[in-house]
A = this chain, B = another copy of it.
Amino acid sequence: MTETAPTRKQNLRKNSLERRERGKLELRRTILEAAVGLFERQGGFENFSLRQVAEEIGYSATTIYLHFADKEELIFHVALEGFKAFGEQLEAAYAHSDDVLLRLRLVGRAYLNFALENPIHYRLMFMQRGDFLERKPPGGQVSVIDSFGILRRAVEAAMKAGALDPGDPQAVAGLLWTHVHGVAALHIATPYFPKEQAEGLFEWSMTIAARGLGARAL
């Protein structure tokens, strides 16, 4: 087993493989972006077709199958990108303050903001395809459980600091989840809760929950 510098041929082969891999990933990206574009243009994924995606990006429909097993998997990966961005925004909110109560409020705001700014993704992730929540993402990517974990940790920390009455952090996090989801989901699904009203209801809900959970102020 001799340790020698790679020959020109070996380098060429390696770089060639890399280049082709890059091209492959690029097309995958292109497909995903075209799909998201279609989702947004038609306000949902119900009436979008692989053939439309293919037409838009200038490939035949069957080429998509070289990058995604089927339509379902393409949609799933759109949702996955949503979960990733969602988790990152919650994390950022969590890291933004050391005040345990303010942090909790910021995480809640980040949650609502994601829903307000990405209604198509939110709908897909939490209203239409909740089964995606439990579907194992490929290659150890983050799943939504981690996102819920952020909220739970924020609750836990607030309890430990005495800013919230002691209790089951998981349960309290669940309660808060239903509150903010209620506002977000009705905002997205119905015409009765436009942005400003949804934001107002969210603040109100947080205040009420804070009182009910023993917070001095939230």
Which residues does A use to contact B, with CB under 8 Å? 46, 126-128, 130-131, 133-134, 174-175, 177-183, 185-186, 188-193, 197, 201, 204-205, 207-209, 211-213
Contacts and interface: CB of A to CB of B under 8 A. Distances in A.
Judged by DSSP, the binding face of A is helix
A179 B205 contact: yes
Contacts of A180: 182
A209 B178 CA distance: 13
Contacts of A185: 127, 181-182, 185
A46 B189 CA distance: 17
Nearest to A129: B189
A191 B174 CA distance: 13
Contacts of A177: 182, 186
Nearest to A185: B185
B201 A208 contact: no
Given A128-B128, A183-B182, A190-B126, A212 B208 contact: yes
A186 B177 CA distance: 9
A197 to B, nearest CB: 8
Contacts of A134: 191
B186 A178 contact: yes
B182 A178 contact: yes
30 contacts: A126-B189, A126-B190, A127-B127, A127-B128, A127-B189, A130-B189, A133-B190, A133-B191, A133-B192, A134-B191, A174-B192, A174-B193, A174-B197, A174-B201, A175-B205, A177-B186, A178-B179, A178-B186, A178-B193, A178-B205, A179-B179, A179-B182, A180-B182, A182-B185, A207-B212, A208-B208, A208-B209, A208-B213, A209-B212, A211-B211
